[in-house]
């Protein structure tokens, strides 16, 4: 059921809704949850939607790329412009514009806007702290802009 993968990600709304419907049905079958809305069930069960987990997985993978925690070159994916930003954090990434729809749904085009829009208050001193501050400080920021 988990599809928070950087390598495979559905981008069609119908595919995302089909995957999300599995979690909707399974949470609805729990005792006492039948009459609650999907978002109420998620809040009570302390779960995130599958779409939000996908966004979080993309941001964590980007963090690993930016700070060299994996064996992949950042320059193969993005053009870094560190410490040149006037707003937000100091680890902005850039890409040329994409003219085809196929490439626009790849990892690097999917994550760039989300990464660059992270607030300056995000703690990027370690992966653990980044993950924690992403969950605490940026949850509503991410959900507001990128939640289906």
Q: What is the pLDDT of residues 128-144, one digit of tens each?
A: 999 888 876 555 555 55
Contact 118, 85 (CB under 8 A): no
Element (H, E) at 91: strand 91-94
- Tokens coding 14: 């119908």
Alpha-helical regions (H) of 11-99:
13-28, 38-45, 50-66
Higher pLDDT, 73 or 103: 73
Higher pLDDT, 2 or 126: 126
- Tokens coding 11: 């981008």
Report how far residue 63's alpha carbon sits from residue 80's, in angstroms, rounded to the nearest whole number.
12
Q: b or e along 16-43 (b: 16 or more beta carbons within 10 Å of the residue's beta carbon)?
A: beebbeebbeebeeeeebeeeebeebbe
Across the chain, what does the average pLDDT equal? 79
| pTM (two decimals) | 0.76
């Amino acid at each position: 059921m988990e599809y928070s993968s950087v390598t495979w990600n559905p981008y069609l709304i119908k595919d995302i809704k089909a995957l999300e419907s599995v979690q909707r049905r399974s949470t609805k079958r729990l005792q006492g949850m039948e009459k609650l809305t999907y978002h109420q069930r998620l809040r009570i069960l302390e779960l995130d939607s599958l779409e939000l987990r996908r966004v979080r997985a993309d941001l964590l993978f980007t963090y690993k790329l930016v700070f060299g925690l994996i064996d992949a070159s950042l320059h193969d994916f993005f053009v870094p412009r560190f410490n040149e930003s006037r707003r937000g954090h100091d680890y902005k990434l850039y890409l040329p514009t994409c003219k085809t729809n196929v490439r626009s749904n790849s990892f690097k085009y999917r994550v760039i806007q989300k990464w660059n829009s992270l607030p300056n208050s995000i703690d990027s001193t370690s992966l653990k702290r980044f993950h924690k501050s992403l969950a605490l400080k940026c949850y509503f920021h991410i959900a507001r802009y990128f939640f289906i």
